[in-house]
Amino acid sequence: MSHTITVAGVDVDTRHWIGGARVASARTFTDVSPIDSSILGEIARGTAVEAAAAVNAARDAFPAWAAVSRAERSRLLHAVADGVERRLEELAIVETTDNGALLRSHRRGVMPRVAHNFRFFADRLLELEHGDFGTRGHTQHVSWDPAGPCVLITPWNAPLMLATWKAAPALAAGNTVVLKPAEWSPLTASLLADIAAEAGLPAGVLNVVQGYGHEIGDVLTSHPDVRRISFTGSVPTARRITASAAANLTPLSLELGGKSPLLVFADADLDLAVDLAVEQYDNAGQVCLAATRLLVEETVAEEFTRRFTTKAARLVQGDPRDEGTDIGPVIHPRQLERIDGFVHRAIAAGARAVVGGHRGDGQHYAPTLLTDVTQDSEIVQEEVFGPVLTLQTFADEEEAVRLANDTRFGLAATVATGDPGRAERVTAQLVAGTVWVNCFFVRDLRAPFGGSRLSGVGREGGTWSFDFYCDLKNTVTAPSGWRSHG
């Protein structure tokens, strides 16, 4: 039986990567492309046996990897980045075929960011230090010690970028990794294992185990040898992971859902505000940071809506491999049903579809804008994770902030205004891990990233990543003139 499939001309191994070797499973799951529903291949379906083997491999490899110098770890991570750049086109076309996101985005933004994830943390590692400080003649020295094996559980909407956003700092910190990719988009994680091995990463330092979360998740997250868990995904799954990790008090970093607002004030550049709003349809709306709640000052709401509908009508839905396509398919029929259910229930409850409100061809969902929605309605309060926006109006700053903060989430927010004073006042009151003013999705790896409320626990990025993936140690040394105890 062959364990290799060919996807868009690229060979991909369908087995796990454990302890520096390919490992098959007795069972498989079917990977299907959202572009045309074609079967891409049968992927090794992990069990408790493979999950435990991956953790054991990471545990066994940890002491030697933790002892590797910072300079050598940095060199190896740069070598991984080199491998990503050499295979950028292959990674881009495989991921587009696997998850349906735009090929042009993968080529120009996503895969270069994958390489940058490794380079940034490789360089940051060499800069990591905290100046010593004195206390009554004693010297206090802060150090970042590797924590141990890390389990990284990643989503399907930006598979490789989010996997490496976690793996790069974990590896840079001197930890070993067990990566569990989403079963709807597993292929580029397998290619990453090949790239890491070719770069010289020692066996067991990076492991990839595939399968269903409900079958292997508990083994990974409850294992007593796992010292860190980082998860990006839904709130219900995060609750299960948290419960599983509780017995060992394993530290968690959770980046969860969002229901982010875009506040448009009357003094904003309306063309810019409309551009920001239409940008929320990126990746078919399957972006946790998406500002899906448009909150528009009532005096400009009519004009904003007119310009928005005109611009949204120009969006092209189609094959994500075509350069002219703006919106690709939704990743899975189950997700398509979920999105359609949200919209149908909202319309039945009195919402009006100003734009879209229906399925497109295949697994596409039409870009949708719903108005006449109430603040307590499901469509306003719950994450849809599809190309569906709502529009509400407000009378003043106080109401805008109240509506913006009135959900269980707090991942991000966007503010469009021409008044710097207003921007300062409003952003200070918004509950969000990231706030953008007159821009969207500008990210710097030096900055902290994470959410408030049900949008997550903890922050990663820059030094915050090392704070999470390391055990911080403070060593206090007495003044010179040691006293001997006989």
pLDDT value of residue 473: 95
pLDDT value of residue 267: 98
pLDDT value of residue 219: 96
Q: Give the residue among 293, 300, 298, 291 at the shortest CA–CA distance from 271.
A: 300
C-alpha to C-alpha distance for 75 and 62, rounded to whole angstroms: 18
Question: What average pLDDT does the segment 298-304 reach?
Answer: 98
Question: What average pLDDT does the segment 32-46 reach?
Answer: 98
The CATH number given to 4-256+455-474 is: 3.40.605.10
Question: What average pLDDT does the segment 50-76 reach?
Answer: 98
Taken in order 299, 300, 303, 304, is the CA torsion positive or negative?
negative
- The identity of residue 275, as a single letter, is D
| Measured CA angle at 375 (ends 413, 442), to 5 deg | 10
Question: What average pLDDT does the segment 403-422 reach?
Answer: 98
Kindly report the average pLDDT of the chain as a whole number: 96
Q: What percent of the chain has pLDDT over 70?
A: 99
pLDDT value of residue 480: 79
pLDDT value of residue 2: 86
pLDDT value of residue 110: 96
- The identity of residue 362, as a single letter, is G
Structure tokens at 336: 């398509």
Q: Are 259 and 88 in contact (CB under 8 A)?
A: no
261-437 is classed CATH 3.40.309.10: yes
Residue 377 Cα to chain centre, angstroms: 27
Question: What average pLDDT does the segment 102-106 reach?
Answer: 97
pLDDT value of residue 132: 87
Indicate which residue of 90, 150, 183, 288 is catalytic: 288
Q: Give the length of the chain.
A: 486
By DSSP bridging, strand 409-410 and strand 452-453 are: antiparallel
Q: Decide if 288 is catalytic.
A: yes
The structural domains of the chain, with segments of one domain joined by +, span 4-256+455-474, 261-437
C-alpha to C-alpha distance for 45 and 51, rounded to whole angstroms: 10
Please give the C-alpha separations between residue 221 and each of 167, 229, 367, 461, in angstroms, as whole numbers.
16, 7, 37, 22
- The 10s digit of each residue's pLDDT in 214-243 is 999 999 999 999 999 999 999 999 999 999
In the block, tokens 């205004």 appear at 417
Question: What average pLDDT does the segment 132-148 reach?
Answer: 92
Indicate which residue of 50, 183, 255, 460 is catalytic: 255
Is the per-residue pLDDT at 486 higher than 90? no
Is the per-residue pLDDT at 483 higher than 80? no
Please check whether the two domains, 4-256+455-474 and 261-437, share a CATH topology.
no
Q: Decide if 470 is catalytic.
A: no
